[in-house]
């Protein structure tokens, strides 16, 4: 592979810095900057043998990695010598001594050092160097929160048992540092901590490191307090009002704690002020592997939007997961650069546990309710957000609610607002054209006593009201709700509304919480995974920040889930990271509200829902997935389709009109259990069938299920349909397990099909439509796996890989022509395509023809086989096929529509395909 030199733009600062007008200055090309140099040899977590007598060190599936094992020590010693030679080569090429900030040996073999652009290019050209990248810079992303997610129930199952509070587990917090003297991290004797076995096992500065151990000189958090806050939220001690310093808690609360108050803590400082250095983050991951006792890592920092790309932090975390560590990360927050949270979710690697932020029920959040002349449910408890200068408001009940229809946006240039038109009323205006201050002032001059401004575009509406008249002003982020409120006020002369400035509504989506859908190559993944409290979270802080403080962000939601995972791992120490992740997801509470406080939340906003740790520790089913499958799911390789990964979320955005998923669940129960499957959707007509719909598992047994989702008949879906497949244990031995479902696609307007890719009876038909996959003009072409939908377009992979059908370019005297291959060549009776009897020529089939046991199939690779698909005007027709469905062990029959161009049959396009999952013959309709 050719070496890569990549310059990564500096990430934006957090919103506070942006609001302060931070300015980024371009770096001169001759100025040295930190670079990440990656060498060709694998790190210890990935080494599978092949170097002399050195034994493999990569961990076996679901086994914790032991950094101190003799085989690992031997490999690291060899790696150290190899890296020393690399450093010598670099020094010789640069003509100067090389000062290293970090060496990396666990996740990969590499170093971090300062280089100019010219030096980076020179180093990239050296043998053994895979890439040289500019260091990425990432922005940083509790008295009620823990009990709101069920931690109190877990603690109280055995109040005197510290294991129920997380004892025996360790959280690693990759953040901005520690506050080692805070009572949240003291040695609590009730948990069994003492000087020999401390609560805070280590706190390290990862700005520099050596031999896998961070060794910077300032491990404390002297700036933001972000790291102290997240660490204490996950695993801070129980702190009462008698502590020194004491927290300030509202009545009736008399104590606070993290979710897992008896868990141990290690902190790894990677952030200085509001930004976090990529080289330090890699050093922290190395140190976690070396420490060897971390059960859960919390990462409340941004990144992870291209998780299979070299240099993306999620890819580094995959190695940590493979080492036995569950990684929990923040979904990300909106900013001035990204005001719209939709489609911006961070950390989309499917091995990551990505957390959205919602409210808990002890935070006061202003709300507006229409009270007259009727009280429509859709206009009750509407979430409103105060402007930046909104003064404290007194009682504002039963006030007239008015619009100004002649100028609904309220700007002066559009005519302003007539005197007394809004006298004594709450004015309802719309965003747009002029400043918020101008709108509010015009409304006040017309007699308004308060203003509500509705949004005119998707995204969070945060109002800068500087210069406005001194009256309360609030915004509504939801365009639909704002418009509905204005319409109601306009249509009802006696409309009135009341503000509730102390309204408390738990499980309401935070407006800043970044969310799905995932985009482009990653559309088969559902993110975020779960939600947790992240609004107004009160937790430990630095001395400079008053020792305690309230912060909001997905950064605060993430450690709630990290703490929950600690409680699950304490209860089930043998569970793998993916088992814990799936337990948290499948037992999460769906429902809740969007940021408007009215609309039901969606899967793309909160994933599986609000974490319920009391249910998670009792999970009767879990799901496993392997490191190798995660690697193979790289969309640029497509060895495993993203929607085929064994995850507790089912997603297909091209479900037209049906789509099928296969999942495997494993019982955690000590006795036999029987499970029944049901499905519910938020969209009329969307249904699902599960095979088997009822199954019995022995203790520890596994079951593979097939779920066929059908969009039904009717108008096209305007938005993705959300739903859940629920598996309920018949004897209530465990809580129900939920798998989220998100589908989008085209459905027939009636029951008559006629576009050439429809079947008269769709009961068992699996459909992949609008694929429009153009086979690459390469020696190995492209390929498709009929069962999983996986596609291949990588040179030398497609001809031999795990695919059923391959079109490639064959060169002869006529030049390059289309050829057909079936990569899975044995046994031939299991697969193949329909050919003319007695030949190897693949038939161009038409509507009305049936593919089944009576058809003649061939799986022989042949350029001759494509003869019928070569014509001067191109060919538009169908290829019949069969394959063995590994989920059912049946032969399935299907057909695919292909379009070829010109006398050589290239380019060739796979438009879409169908197959009957029951094993029955199928007719092209």
Report DSSP letters for 528-543, one per residue. --EEEE-SSEEEE--G
How far is C-alpha 676 from the chain's CA centre? 28
Whether omega for the bond prior to residue 663 falls within 30 degrees of 0, making it cis, is no
Active-site annotation holder among 555, 576, 601, 780: 555
Whether 175 is a known active-site residue: answer yes
466 burial type by CB count under 10 A (0-12 exposed, 13-18 middle, 19+ buried): exposed
Angle at 812 between CA 811 and CA 814, to 5 degrees: 105
Backbone angles phi, psi at 778, to 5 degrees: -130, 160
Task: In whole angstroms, give the CA distance from residue 449 to residue 402.
Answer: 11
Which of 690, 682, 737 lies closest to 709 in space, CA to CA? 690
Contacts 24+ apart (CB under 8 A), 776-780: 777/809, 777/816, 777/906, 777/907, 778/808, 778/809, 779/808, 779/809, 780/806, 780/808
Q: How many Å is the Cα radius of gyration of the chain?
A: 30
Greatest C-alpha distance within the chain:
91
With helix as H, strand as E and coil as C, how does 751-799 read?
CCCCCCCCCCCCCCEEEECCCCEECCCCCCCEEECCCCCCEECCCCCCC
Task: In whole angstroms, give the CA distance from residue 745 to residue 738.
Answer: 23
Number of other CB atoms surrounding residue 61 within 10 Å: 12
Number of other CB atoms surrounding residue 500 within 10 Å: 17
CA distances from 271 to 21, 174, 281, 564, 615 (A): 20, 9, 9, 25, 35
Task: In whole angstroms, give the CA distance from residue 625 to residue 82.
Answer: 33
Whether 555 is a known active-site residue: answer yes
* Coil, strand or helix at 509: strand
208 burial type by CB count under 10 A (0-12 exposed, 13-18 middle, 19+ buried): middle
User: Hey, which residues does 767 pair with through a beta bridge?
Assistant: 914
Tokens at residue 452, please? Answer: 């509500």
Cβ neighbours of residue 582 closer than 8 Å, sequence gap 6 or more: 619, 621, 622, 623, 624, 647, 648
Active-site annotation holder among 226, 347, 360, 560: 226
Task: In whole angstroms, give the CA distance from residue 419 to residue 225.
Answer: 50
Tokens at residue 668, please? Answer: 């955690």
Q: Residues of 264-277 as b/e, b for ≥16 C-beta within 10 angstroms? A: bbbbbbbbbebbbb
Report DSSP letters for 657-680, one per residue. SEEEEEEEEEE--SS-EEEEEEEE
Task: In whole angstroms, give the CA distance from residue 298 to residue 281.
Answer: 12
Active-site annotation holder among 108, 109, 175, 475: 175
Which of 240, 272, 166 lies closest to 548 in space, CA to CA? 240
* Percent of the chain as helix, strand, coil, to the nearest 5: 20, 30, 50
Tokens at residue 244, please? Answer: 């020194």
Angle at 833 between CA 827 and CA 839, to 5 degrees: 95
How far is C-alpha 524 from the chain's CA centre? 11
Please give the torsion angle defined by the CA atoms of residues 192, 195, 200 and 203, in that order, rounded to the nearest 10 degrees: -160
* Coil, strand or helix at 204: strand
Tokens at residue 77, please? Answer: 């010693």
Whether 274 is a known active-site residue: answer no
Number of other CB atoms surrounding residue 200 within 10 Å: 21
Q: What are the residue numbers of the active site?
A: 175, 226, 555
């Amino acid at each position: 592979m050719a070496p890569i030199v990549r310059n990564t733009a500096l990430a934006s600062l957090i919103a506070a810095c942006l609001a302060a007008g931070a300015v980024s200055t371009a770096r001169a090309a001759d100025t040295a900057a930190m670079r990440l140099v990656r060498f060709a040899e694998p790190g210890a977590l990935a080494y599978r043998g092949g170097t002399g007598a050195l034994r493999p060190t990569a961990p076996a599936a679901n086994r914790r990695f032991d950094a101190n094992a003799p085989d690992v020590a031997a490999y690291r010693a060899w790696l150290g010598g190899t890296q020393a030679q690399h450093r010598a080569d670099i020094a010789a090429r640069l003509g100067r001594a090389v000062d290293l900030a970090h060496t990396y040996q666990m996740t990969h073999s590499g170093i971090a050092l300062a280089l100019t652009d010219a030096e980076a290019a020179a180093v990239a050209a050296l043998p053994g160097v895979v890439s040289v990248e500019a260091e990425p810079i990432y922005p940083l992303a509790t008295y009620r929160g823990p009990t709101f997610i069920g931690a109190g129930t877990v603690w109280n199952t055995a109040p005197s048992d510290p294991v129920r509070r997380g004892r025996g587990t360790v959280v690693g917090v990759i953040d901005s540092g520690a506050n080692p003297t805070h009572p949240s991290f003291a040695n609590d004797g009730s948990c069994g901590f003492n000087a020999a076995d401390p609560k805070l096992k280590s706190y390290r500065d990862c700005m520099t490191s050596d031999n896998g151990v961070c060794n910077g000189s300032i491990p404390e958090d002297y700036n933001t307090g972000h790291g102290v806050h997240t660490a204490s939220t996950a695993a801070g001690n129980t702190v009462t009002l008698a502590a020194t310093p004491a927290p300030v808690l509202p009545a009736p609360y008399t104590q606070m704690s993290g979710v897992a108050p008896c868990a141990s803590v290690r902190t790894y400082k990677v952030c200085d002020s509001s930004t976090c250095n990529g080289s330090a983050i890699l050093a922290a991951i190395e140190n976690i592997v070396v420490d060897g006792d971390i059960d859960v890592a919390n990462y409340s920092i941004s990144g992870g939007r291209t998780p299979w790309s070299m240099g993306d932090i999620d890819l580094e975390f995959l190695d940590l997961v493979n080492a036995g560590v569950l990684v929990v990360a923040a979904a990300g927050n909106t900013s001035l650069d990204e005001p719209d949270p939709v489609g911006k979710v961070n950390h989309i690697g499917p091995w990551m546990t990505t957390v959205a932020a919602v409210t808990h029920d002890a935070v006061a959040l202003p709300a507006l309710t229409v009270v007259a002349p009727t009280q429509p449910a859709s206009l009750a408890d509407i979430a409103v957000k105060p402007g930046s200068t909104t003064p404290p408001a007194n009682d504002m009940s039963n006030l007239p609610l008015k619009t100004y229809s002649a100028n609904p946006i309220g700007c002066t240039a559009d005519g302003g607002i007539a005197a007394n038109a809004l006298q004594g009323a709450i004015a309802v205006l719309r965003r747009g054209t002029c400043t918020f201050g101008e709108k509010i002032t015009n409304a006040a001059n017309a007699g308004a006593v308060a203003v509500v401004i509705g949004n005119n575009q998707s995204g969070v509406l945060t109002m800068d009201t500087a210069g406005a008249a001194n009256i309360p002003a609030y915004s509504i982020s939801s365009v639909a709700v704002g418009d509905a409120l204005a319409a109601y006020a306009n249509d009802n002369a006696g409309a009135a509304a009341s503000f509730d400035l102390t309204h408390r509504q738990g499980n309401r989506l935070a407006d800043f919480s970044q969310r799905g859908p995932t985009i482009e190559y990653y559309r088969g993944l559902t993110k975020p995974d779960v939600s947790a409290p992240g609004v107004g979270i009160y937790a430990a802080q630095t001395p400079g920040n008053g020792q305690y403080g309230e912060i909001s962000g997905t950064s605060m939601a993430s450690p709630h889930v990290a703490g929950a995972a600690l409680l699950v791992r304490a209860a089930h120490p043998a569970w793998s990271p993916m088992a814990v992740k799936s337990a948290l997801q499948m037992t999460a509470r769906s429902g809740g509200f969007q940021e408007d406080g009215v609309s039901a939340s969606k899967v793309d906003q909160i994933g599986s829902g609000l974490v319920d740790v009391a249910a998670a520790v009792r999970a009767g089913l879990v799901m496993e997935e392997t490191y190798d499958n995660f690697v193979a799911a790289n969309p640029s390789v497509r060895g495993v389709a993203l929607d085929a990964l064994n995850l507790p979320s089912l997603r297909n955005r091209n479900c037209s009109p049906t789509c099928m998923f296969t999942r495997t669940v494993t019982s955690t129960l000590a006795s036999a259990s029987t499970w029944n499957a049901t499905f519910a959707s938020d969209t009329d007509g969307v249904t699902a069938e599960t095979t088997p719909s009822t199954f019995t598992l022995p203790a520890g047994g596994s079951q593979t299920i097939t779920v066929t989702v059908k969009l039904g008949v009717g108008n096209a879906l305007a938005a993705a349909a959300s739903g859940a497949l629920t598996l309920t244990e018949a004897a209530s031995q465990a809580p129900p397990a939920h798998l989220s479902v998100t589908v989008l696609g085209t459905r027939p307007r009636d029951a008559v099909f006629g576009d050439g890719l429809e079947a008269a009876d769709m009961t068992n038909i699996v459909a992949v439509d609008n694929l429009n996959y153009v086979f690459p003009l390469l020696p190995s072409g492209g390929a498709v796996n009929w069962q999983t939908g996986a596609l291949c377009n990588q040179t030398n992979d497609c001809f031999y890989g795990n695919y059923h059908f391959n079109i490639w370019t064959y060169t002869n005297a006529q030049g390059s022509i289309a050829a057909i291959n079936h990569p899975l060549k044995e046994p031939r009776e299991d697969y193949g395509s329909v050919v003319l009897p007695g030949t190897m020529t693949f038939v161009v089939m038409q509507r009305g023809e049936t593919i089944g046991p009576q058809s003649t199939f061939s799986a022989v690779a042949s350029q001759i086989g494509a003869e019928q698909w070569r014509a001067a005007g191109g060919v538009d027709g169908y290829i019949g096929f069969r394959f063995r469905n590994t989920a059912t062990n049946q032969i399935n029959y299907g057909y695919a529509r292909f379009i070829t161009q010109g006398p050589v049959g290239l380019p060739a396009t796979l438009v879409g395909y169908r197959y009957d999952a029951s094993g029955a013959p199928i007719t092209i309709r």
